[in-house]
Amino acid sequence: MPGFADRLNGIAISASAAMTDKASALKAQGARIVSLSSGEPDFPTPDHVVDAAIAAALGGDTKYPPQAGKPALKAAVQRKFLRDNHLDYALDEILVANGAKQIIYNAMMATCNPGDEVVLPTPYWISYADIARLGGARIVQVPCPADNDFRLLPADLDAAITPRTKWLVLNFPNNPTGACCPRRDLEEIAAVLMKHPHVWVLTDDIYEHLIYDDFAFHTLAEIEPRLKDRVLTVNGVSKSYAMTGWRVGFCGGPRDLIAAMNNMQGQATSGINTIAQAAAIAALDGPQDYLKVRAAEYQARRDLVVGLLNAIPGLHCHTPQGAFYVYPDIGACMGKVSAGGRKIDSDTDFVMALLEEQQVASVQGAAYGMSPFFRISYATDTDTLREGCRRIAEFVGGLV
C-alpha cells in the first residue's frame, strides 16, 4: 500500500488520550472505571457563556470568520491581557485559533527548521515535544528536580541553550506536576534569556487562574518587558472557564511572528467557529468572580488527594500550587510484582496494571519525560477521588 510521511516517525497518540480511550473501552465492556487520566474540568460552562453562543447562532453569526479571529474577540483578548497580565498588545499582535494547541502548532511550524532545538523543562506536556518534532526540531530536555518542587533551575536552563536553540517552552502552572513559578524564579529565568537574544520563548499560561495557597501568578513578558518582542504569550478559555469543547485559544506576540503563524493557520484551518468566538467573548468580558470559587474547590480536592496518596506506603506526592494534577513518585514500587502477577519495571507497567487490576485510569510519567512517576487529574468530584485513591492504595498494598 502507499506509504506515509517520514515526519510521523516516532509520533504517537498522546498517552493521556490513549489511556482515556482504553478506559472508555473497558467501561463499555462493563468495567467500573475510575478515570483520573483526563485533564478536563468537571464544572459546566457558565450559563452566560452558553447564552451568548445561542444568541450568536440565532442572530445569524454563522458565516466564515476572519482568519486571525473576529475583531470583537481580539479586542476581548486585548482587554484580558491588559487586565490580568499588564500586557498591552495591539490587535495585529493577537491571534485566535482552535485551542491553545493550534497556537503552539502554528508557532513551531512557522519558525522551526531541521536541526533547530526546542528546550523543554521536564516533565512537560506531551504535545510540546511531538509538535516540535513535526516541525523538524530536536528536543532538549532540562530536568526540573522533584526535590525542588519541579521548578526550573536557571543554571540548568543556561547550560541547555546552544546556538541552535529556537524556542524555550515554559508552562506554569505546569502539566503534569502542577508546579508554579514564583516571581523571583521568573526574574532569574529572564536574566538567563537576556543573554541569548536568538531564542524565542513560548509561555503556556492555560492554567493561569487555577492557583492555590495565595500564589501570585505572573507571566514572563510581564516580568521582563525587554523580552516582550520575542515572547509568545499563550492562553485560552478551556481550563479556567470549563470550555474545553469550545476550542478557543489565543496568544499575544510580536507582530511578525503573529503574521507568520496566521499564514500557517490559513493553510490548515482558517478562522475558528464563530459561535465559539461569541462564547469566548462572554467568558473573557463577563463575571470573573466564579473563577476563584472554582479554584477554591480544586484546592480542596488537591488537599484531599495529596493527603490520601501520602498516606500510602511506597508513594510520595508533592503539593502542587496550581493546575489540577498531582505527580506522585512511585520509585519505591519499581521491581515489585502486582497482585495480578505483572512485574512493575516502569511507570508504564504501573499504570497499566493499575488500570487492569483496579480499573483506575492514570498516565505514566514516561509520557511526560520523567520517571518513575504517574499523573492523576483531580478535576472530578470528591467521591470519585476518594474511590480512586482507595483503589490505588489497595493496588500498591498488594505489590510484593
1 is a domain residue:
no
Does 307 share its domain with 162? no
**Cβ-Cβ contacts under 8 Å for 216 (sequence gap 6 or more):** 183
Residue 222 belongs to what domain range?
A: 47-285
Does 37 share its domain with 90? no
Does 256 share its domain with 339? no
State which of 263, 285, 307 marks the end of a domain.
Answer: 285
Res 11: pLDDT: 83
Res 7: pLDDT: 86
Res 290: pLDDT: 97
Q: What is the mean pLDDT of residues 224-238?
A: 98
State which of 260, 285, 310 marks the end of a domain.
Answer: 285
Does 350 share its domain with 268? no
The residue type of 86 is H
Calculate the average pLDDT of the chain: 96
In CATH, what number is assigned to the domain containing residue 175? 3.40.640.10
User: DSSP class of residue 286?
Assistant: S
Does 337 share its domain with 278? no
Q: Would you state the cell numbers that stand for residue 169, as one nine-digit string?
A: 517552552
71 is a domain residue:
yes
CA distances from 106 to 17, 98, 199, 269 (A): 21, 11, 17, 11
With 90 as the cut, is the pLDDT of residue 300 above it?
A: yes
In CATH, what number is assigned to the domain containing residue 320? 3.90.1150.10
Alpha helices in the chain (DSSP H): 15-28, 47-58, 71-85, 99-111, 126-134, 154-160, 183-194, 220-223, 255-268, 274-285, 289-310, 347-358, 382-397
Is the Cα torsion angle 312, 318, 319, 320 positive or negative in sign?
negative
Does 29 share its domain with 53? no
Does 214 share its domain with 323? no
Coil vs helix vs strand at 205:
coil
Give the model's confidence band at 377: pLDDT under 50 very low, under 70 low, under 90 confident, else very high: very high
Res 38: pLDDT: 87
Of 340, 348, 358, nearest to 399 (Cα)? 340
With 80 as the cut, is the pLDDT of residue 14 above it?
A: no
Res 342: pLDDT: 96
With 80 as the cut, is the pLDDT of residue 17 above it?
A: no
Res 15: pLDDT: 77
The count of domains in the chain is 2
Contact 253, 219 (CB under 8 A): no
Region class of 201: left (phi > 0), else alpha (psi between -120 and 50), else beta: beta
103 is a domain residue:
yes
Res 90: pLDDT: 98
149 is a domain residue:
yes
With 80 as the cut, is the pLDDT of residue 60 above it?
A: yes
State which of 258, 285, 312 marks the end of a domain.
Answer: 285
With 90 as the cut, is the pLDDT of residue 19 above it?
A: no
CA–CA separation, 326 and 375 (whole Å): 6
Q: What is the pTM of this model?
A: 0.96
Question: Which burial class, exposed, middle or buried, applies to 311 when counting CB atoms under 10 A from its CB (0-12, 13-18, 19+)?
Answer: exposed
Does 278 share its domain with 313? no
Q: How confident is the model over 134-146, as pLDDT tens digits?
A: 999 999 999 999 9
Q: How confident is the model over 151-184, as pLDDT tens digits?
A: 999 999 999 999 999 999 999 999 999 999 999 9
150 is a domain residue:
yes
Does 264 share its domain with 311? no
With 90 as the cut, is the pLDDT of residue 304 above it?
A: yes
With 90 as the cut, is the pLDDT of residue 343 above it?
A: yes
Coil vs helix vs strand at 55:
helix
Q: What is the mean pLDDT of residues 84-110?
A: 98
133 is a domain residue:
yes
Is the Cα torsion angle 329, 335, 339, 341 positive or negative in sign?
positive
Does 303 share its domain with 179? no
Coil vs helix vs strand at 49:
helix
Q: What is the mean pLDDT of residues 325-348?
A: 97
Does 170 share its domain with 269? yes
Give the model's confidence band at 216: pLDDT under 50 very low, under 70 low, under 90 confident, else very high: very high
Q: What is the mean pLDDT of residues 315-324?
A: 98
Q: What is the mean pLDDT of residues 377-397?
A: 98
Give the model's confidence band at 22: pLDDT under 50 very low, under 70 low, under 90 confident, else very high: confident
Res 156: pLDDT: 98
Does 35 share its domain with 179? no
